[in-house]
Structure 1
Amino acid sequence: MIQINQRLKKVSEYIKGDYLADIGSDHAYLPIYAIENNLTARAIAGEVIRGPFDASVKNVRAHGLESVISVELGDGLTVLKTDNAITSITICGMGGPLITKILRAGQEKLTNRPRLILQSNIQSQPIRVLLQQLNYTIVDEVLMTEKGHTYEIIVADYSPEIKNLSLLELKFGPILLSQKSELFYQKWERELTALEHILTQLNQTTHRERITEIENEIQMIKEVL
């Protein structure tokens, strides 16, 4: 049985249905774990870089799961057929803007309306904006730390009728904002300190636009803290 880190284990708790696509699979740890623990019946491990792709192929073979895990080399959701039967898509370990780019570019592959389980390292706001545009409702959000890093997990299901999120909900997360855990306060107090430091480094004349952006962001953070 494969062992995975706490971050991926938390992601695995949200896998829904019998067909998983893990995009940016990096060694295929999550698909292997999901199959071995009966969280799904079959999976695709997608990888755009040859090294991790080869490692994924090797790992799947080592666990004897070639018949149920297909390892595909390709960019984002291009590894999926348009008429796929995927029930869950996981995209983990990337920045929010990159996850957003992958989903936007491959949105025609969401025909089966799979659950989306997205774990971003930074900047989750673009993900929430796109989910709303794709008619996906956020059903859960998790903040967690591992090895000194803070991660966000966003879980979303397709919904024909969605509630438009406010600017604060898009930035901080509707569920995270309603719960405001100790980790939430720690994360945004760190962010506030970092922004205030950046502000002291900028030239009032040449960086006026950036200064205004940061001041607005600082104001939003202070509002929720």
Structure 2
Amino acid sequence: MIPINRRLKKVSEYVTGERLADIGSDHAFLPMYCLEQGYITSAIAGEVIPGPYSAAVKSVARHGYKNQIDIRLGNGLTILNPEEDTIDTVTICGMGGPLIAKILNEGFKHIPHRPRLILQSNIQSEPIRRFLQANGYHIVTETLIKERAHIYEIIVADAGTMSLSEQDFKFGPFLHPKPSELFVEKWMREIEALADIKKQLDPVQHQKRYDEITRQENEIKEVLNR
């Protein structure tokens, strides 16, 4: 059995098609698990740092998947060859939303066939949603999962169009209309973090920043109190 955490196991449920590209693969546990479960027939696993790349190579060899998983060293989606690599699903997990959006922006031309995107952010998912809308993708589902006290967002998107509101961009079109317990917990934590920042600010000396934090607090409370 491939050792996989709850977060990546949840991500695997949305993988579709024959071939997966997992960017920032971290020991290649996700593609190995997907192969083990019969979700896919082959995968590409990308790592940008030599250490994790070597760890992934050893991990894949140890579990007997080196003929099915092609491990590549390189930056984000640029490891993919747009002419030769036919990818059905791309996963980018375990990073902040701004970094995931940056990876998509810098390497988008490497996935011209518009595969499914499964994007699991640790923080700040808004830039991901803005990228998807601007680049011909629509969100098909979103979910939250809690692991080791941290709450993660998973966004699943296919090629298509959408028109999100400002609340949708910030809170998630599938998440905020009917707030779950995890959703409430996540955003209550954010309110607490903003309140801690405000305590360190002088309302007069730092008026602009103070007012911006107050605006953010009110925005969150509006969604939670509907």
Alpha-carbon distance in 1 for matches of 2:57, 2:134: 35
Give the deviation of 1:203 after TM superposition: 2.5
8 Å contact from structure 2 (residues 80, 111) kept in 1: no
Give the match for residue 118 of structure 2. Answer: 117
| TM-superposition CA deviations, 1:55-84 (whole Å, max 9, x none) | 110111112212110000001011101223
Question: CA offset at residue 206 of structure 1?
Answer: 4.0
The SS at the match of 1:106 is helix
2:203/2:210 contact within 8 Å kept = yes
Secondary structure of residue in 2 paired with 1:178: coil
Does 1:158 pair with 2:156? no
- Structure 2 CA distance for aligned equivalents of residues 64 and 139 of structure 1: 34
Q: Which amino acid aligns with 1:77?
A: L
CA deviation map 1:63-108 (0-9, x unaligned)? 2212110000001011101223101000010000100100000110
Secondary structure of the equivalent of 1:89?
strand
Q: Secondary structure at the match of 1:202?
A: coil
Measured in 1, the distance between the counterparts of 2:208 and 2:90 equals 38
1:33 corresponding residue in structure 2: 33
Q: Which amino acid aligns with 1:171?
A: K
Q: State the partner residue of 2:2.
A: 2
SS at match of 1:224: helix
Query: 1:140-172 deviations in whole A, cap 9, x for unaligned?
Result: 11111101111000000011xx23100001000
Between 1:70-79 and 1:188-197, the stretch displaced more is 188-197
Percent identical among aligned pairs is 55
What is the letter of the counterpart of residue 85 of structure 1?
A: T
Paired position in structure 1 for 2:187: 188
Question: Tell me, which stretches of 5 or more residues in structure 2 are unaligned?
Answer: none
Q: Which residue in the other structure is 1:46 paired with?
A: 46
| Matching residue's letter, 1:155 | V
Higher alpha-carbon deviation: 199-208 or 65-74: 199-208
CA distance in 1, matches of 2:71, 2:44: 6
Structure 1 spans left out of the alignment, 5+ residues = none
CA–CA separation in structure 2 for the residues paired with 1:176 and 1:166: 13
CA–CA distance in structure 2, aligned partners of residues 146 and 70 of structure 1: 29
Residue of structure 2 in register with 1:175 after alignment: 174
Aligned-partner residue type, residue 174 of structure 2: I
TM-score by structure 1 length?
0.96
Please state how far the C-alpha of 1:179 moved relative to its aligned partner.
Answer: 2.5
Q: Look up the SS of the partner of 2:21 in the other structure.
A: strand
TM-score w.r.t. structure 2 length?
A: 0.96
3-state SS in 2 of match to 1:176:
coil
Output one character per residue of 1:167-222: Cα deviation in whole Å (capped at 9) or x when no partner: 00100000001221011111111111221221121123443332232122111101
SS at match of 1:128: helix
Matched length: 223
| Counterparts of 1:110 and 1:202, CA distance in 2 | 45
